[in-house]
Structure 1
Amino acid sequence: MKILEANAGPLTNFEVLDFLRSKGAAKDPTRVLAKVLPSEYKVFDYLNRTPACNQTREAVIAFVEKSKEYDLAKAEILNIINLRPITPVELFPIIENCDVRMGEEATERMEEMGSMVEHVFPTPQIQPTLEATPNEGNEAETMEEQEGAGDAVEEPIQTT
């Protein structure tokens, strides 16, 4: 890989993740063979838990093209790509002076933009895993354990 222009601008999370994948971060489960630093593995692990893990270069380019009609700043586009907001509540803090710039139909435009983001970027496949409890079949014991868990009170240590 050759750097054509140093410090050309900020990168999206997808671009950073793509770069780390190209260095071999995804291919080395032992984390010894690839030329990836431990700090880069931490970044790689974090970005794999964000919407960037499912994005593609084509989707990012398509979003940038479609977002031109909203007259967004580069930083706003970058934040939308990184965060994948799909509701007006998530979009309003990202877009500066949203009420003024979008006019009276700001909420409608934000809903339209949210549905466009949802359509362009795939839904992240990140779901919290529920660990099976040892007493999975016995609900009475599980409820007793949950109720009893809050009863334990630590007493302060007294020194003389």
Structure 2
Amino acid sequence: MNLHNFSNNALFNSDILIESQYVKAIQFITPPGTDFDFNSENINLDYQYHILDNSEDKRFHIVLLEFSITENGVDGKEPICVLNIVLEGIYKINDSVEYDDSSFSTIKHFGSLNLIINFLRLVLYNITSMTSNTGFYLPLIDISKLHEKNMTKPTKKRSKKVSSKK
């Protein structure tokens, strides 16, 4: 099989295409001589994401994912270790998907969210593999619960104009 035909295989979904995925920011803070204890009872995880529409082309959109892990001290109040990661993914919904089709919105929200979380898994493992933890695998995430949490969380919405990348 030629490599350029690899993605045309029926095994793969081509409804959404990755234009690009980037690490926008990383903040990793640990006191000297210590590192994260990922088995600690005092670990807090937080995820937030934002989907930004492209006003010029409805098929393009950007997903920003903010992920943080905080390990609090034994008192549970003061954070002793912090890891913050911000990712950006630019995605395009394939021209074969009709804009008025109900699957368009599903692909846009759940497809791109799945793609950026898979990218987060890679980034998180690579970052933590350079620590004394020798690599931490992100557990499975219930995407529908994450989506529901994000939709019910009160946030100040403001319109954003995003131009297509050419």
TM-score by length of 1: 0.24
TM-score by length of 2: 0.23
Higher strand share: 2
**Higher alpha-carbon Rg:** 1
